[in-house]
């Protein structure tokens, strides 16, 4: 194990829980938040909570790992050519967060030479820290994670995600086919948390036609380390442009990929 990776992993686990308490305080006082719509993006909201949490993370990283790169949902990219790069979503699931629902979290991934080596997703409401370091398995708090062994869509729930960045035609056929094959779906509004649930075996799969890197890199590694399967998200400049995400038990991955192809 690269000691520099291990050092960042230990630090990140403390950091994400600390900023989780800040996010939770904002959540419990959300009626006082100033809310804005992101320019040109319907249903895509941002609040002072997102901005403050990302600022706290960035400040801590500047102090402890000043030579590392950073990609954050709110403040953008800096130093992506560095060996280590942190990819951060300060609050994934901003809409549920602001509307008083429970599906929101903080997501932090670390890339080393363009490969995901650390993934953390923290749910402050339920005190669940999903965490992994490449090659060492995946955990929620201290319990090991294991992806579902499902071989059929009828054996569990599939998470589906959607945004207005892509047309409905990239999504509606997937719902139709999942139902036709005897499956059922859920959408909770947080891609990161949905991926954590795939890693935990709570969901058998997840598909979203377009998602940003900060929403999913941590979850991708969690799923892989828990024995699940994912698409190659970073292909075609996924880090900066986003990509589709497909993650599931190994037993239904090809089935979901065939359903996804209906949208092409």
> Nearest-CA neighbor of 260 among 183, 173, 182, 199?
173
Rounded to 5 degrees, what are φ and ψ at 118?
-140, 140
Q: Which residues pair with 108 in a beta bridge?
A: 88, 120
Neighbours of 225 (CB within 10 A): 23
Is 81 annotated in a binding site? The answer is no
DSSP category for residue 145? P
Environment class of 149 (CB within 10 Å of its CB; exposed 0-12, middle 13-18, buried 19+): middle
**Is 78 marked within a binding site?**
no
- Judge whether 215 is annotated as a binding position: yes
213-225 vs 191-199: helix crossing angle, rounded to 10: 0
Q: Which residues are annotated as a binding site?
A: 73, 89, 91-92, 215
Binding residues for Mg(2+): 73, 89, 91-92, 215
């Amino acid at each position: 194990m690269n000691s520099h990776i291990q050092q960042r992993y230990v630090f990140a686990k403390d950091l994400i829980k600390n900023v989780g308490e800040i996010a939770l305080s904002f959540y419990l006082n959300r009626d006082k938040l100033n809310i804005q719509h992101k320019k040109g993006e319907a249903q895509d909201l941002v609040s002072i909570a997102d901005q403050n949490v990302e600022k706290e993370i960035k400040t801590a990283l500047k102090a402890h790992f000043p030579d590392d790169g950073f990609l954050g949902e709110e403040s953008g990219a800096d130093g992506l050519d560095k060996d280590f790069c942190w990819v951060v979503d300060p609050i994934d699931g901003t809409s549920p967060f602001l509307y008083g629902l429970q599906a929101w979290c903080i997501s932090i991934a670390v890339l080393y030479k363009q490969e995901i080596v650390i993934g953390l997703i923290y749910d402050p409401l339920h005190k669940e820290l999903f965490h992994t370091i490449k090659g060492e398995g995946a955990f929620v708090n201290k319990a090991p994670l294991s992806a579902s062994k499902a071989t059929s869509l009828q054996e569990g729930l599939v998470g589906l995600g959607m945004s207005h960045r892509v047309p409905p035609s990239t999504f509606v056929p997937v719902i139709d086919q999942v139902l036709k094959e005897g499956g059922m779906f859920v959408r909770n509004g947080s891609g990161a948390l949905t991926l954590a649930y795939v890693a935990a075996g709570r969901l058998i799969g997840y598909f979203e036609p377009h998602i940003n890197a900060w929403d999913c890199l941590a979850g991708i590694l969690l799923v892989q380390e828990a024995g699940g399967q994912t698409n190659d998200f970073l292909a075609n400049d996924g880090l900066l442009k986003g990509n589709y995400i497909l993650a599931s038990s190994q037993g239904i991955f090809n089935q979901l990929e065939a359903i996804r192809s209906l949208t092409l």
